[in-house]
Amino acid sequence: MLKIKDARVVVTCPGRNFVTLRIETADGVYGLGDATLNGRELAVASYLTDHVIPCLIGRDAHQIEDIWQYLYKGAYWRRGPVTMSAIAAVDMALWDIKAKAANMPLYQLLGGACRTGVMVYGHANGQTVEETVEEALKYRAMGYKAIRLQSGVPGLPSTYGVSKDKMFYEPADGSLPTENVWSTAKYLRAVPQLFEAARLVLGEEVHLLHDVHHRLTPIEAARLGKSLEPYRLFWMEDPTPAENQEAFRLIRQHTTTPLAVGEVFNSIWDAKDLIQNQLIDYIRATVVHAGGITHLRRIANLADLYQIRTGCHGATDLSPVTMAAALHVGLSIPNFGIQEYMRHTVETDAVFPHAYTFQDGSLHPGDAPGLGVDLDEALAAKYPYSRAFLPVNRLEDGTLHSW
């Protein structure tokens, strides 16, 4: 019995907001879990502090599965991003504790390494095709084997995922939501030109990815996938929203461009039909937003039956604690595909010192016991919470968009 003695939530903003759960056991071993839900951070902090932590005190930290079931089934109100991020934080912290108690890096407890490292992709973005390709060249020079390309759309003043800041940028950019203008017609004209230019300059070797951020209808997405086939994308991400999982059947019928979906999923039930009908190629559910290591492994196991691989979300709003957890999972499952890796700022890395390292286009979680991430609470306290939102999208006539 490894008794949970105490737990608390730490909110910090070293350039962007992070919510971290710290669980402490009676014999002094502690674990960390990420609970960051971009733009809705304090909702999860309250869920943990007001509703979850009181139920944890006195329990056996070793009973990870039972505690997961207790929090999921016991709440009566199942699923949803707030609930599942809170459960994820508890789950991560408990795995961290168990692996520290075993004096092993977590991936060893998860079955050991299946590969030498976890291939990652970086974000190249620019206002123009030329600028984006130039950014991609920088990533290639750093050793990246896979690069996501997002470019400004001619005729539109701003585009989500295309920022003035290059190597480091934040998806949440305003204390009230900023607004972008969207035109599907302009976008569908621009994207094939970007990838045509990119292949000419970057050649065939490097993997190229693109994120549509749920902006298209299924038939528009089908057309985009088809028009990108000559450039052999590694994947086209979130071409259309997936509340209606059936929608992907139509896209699938029209294009061989591989599909990646699921960064907003919080449960295996969000992905069940997509996986069982083999409507996608990569599942993007993440440790923090999909119920922790325990639940993500369940999703990955289901996906493996259908030859679907993982491609976990890894933007900067997922803290280094989630990144470490994703790396331990990615290293140890048979059907790992790729891991998104938007680099955190120097300020964030200082608040979360970590053992994972980047080399030759891959990350390795390192061999420190547990997750291999710490939280410098004194430094974290110097960065108070600062409200921030993701931008919203409107069509040129003002209609609120995204689908």
Tell whether residue 34 is a contact of ligand EZ4 (CB under 6 A).
Answer: no
Q: In angstroms, what is the minimal distance from the CB of 132 to ligand EZ4?
A: 16
Burial of 60 (0-12, 13-18, 19+ CB in 10 A): middle
Residue 171 interacts with, from ligand EZ4, Co ion, none (CB under 5-8 Å by kind): ligand EZ4
Tokens at residue 92, please?
Answer: 């991560």
308-317 burial string, b = 16+ CB within 10 Å, else e? Answer: bbbbbbbbbb
What does residue 324 show for φ and ψ, rounded to 5 degrees?
Answer: -60, -45
Ranges within 263-302 binding Co ion (CB under 5 A): 263
Helix/strand/coil for 338: strand
- CB nearest ligand EZ4: which residue? 315
The stretch among 22-30, 138-146, 200-208, 311-319 that binds ligand EZ4 (CB under 6 A) is 311-319
Contacts of 108 (CB under 8 A, 6+ apart): 99, 102
Helix/strand/coil for 34: strand
Contacts of 79 (CB under 8 A, 6+ apart): 266, 267, 269
Say how many residues touch ligand EZ4, by CB under 6 A. 11
Candidates 24, 41, 135, 211; binder of Co ion (CB under 5 A) is 211
> Which helix (DSSP H) or strand (DSSP E) does residue 342 occupy?
none
The CB-side HSE value for 136 (13 A sphere, CA atoms) comes to: 28
Residue closer to ligand EZ4 (CB basis): 43 or 390: 390
The stretch among 51-59, 190-198, 216-224, 309-317 that binds ligand EZ4 (CB under 6 A) is 309-317
Residue closer to Co ion (CB basis): 211 or 270: 211
Tell whether residue 340 is a contact of Co ion (CB under 5 A).
Answer: no
The stretch among 197-205, 222-230, 241-249, 312-320 that binds ligand EZ4 (CB under 6 A) is 312-320
- Amino acid residing at 35: A
Candidates 81, 105, 152, 171; binder of ligand EZ4 (CB under 6 A) is 171
Which residue blocks in 333-387 are alpha helix, DSSP H? Answer: 346-351, 377-380
30 flagged as catalytic: no
Catalytic residue ranges? 160, 213
- Interface with ligand EZ4 by CB under 6 A: which residues? 38, 161, 171, 211, 213, 263, 313, 315, 317, 340, 390
Question: Which residues contribute to the site for Co ion (CB under 5 A)?
Answer: 211, 263
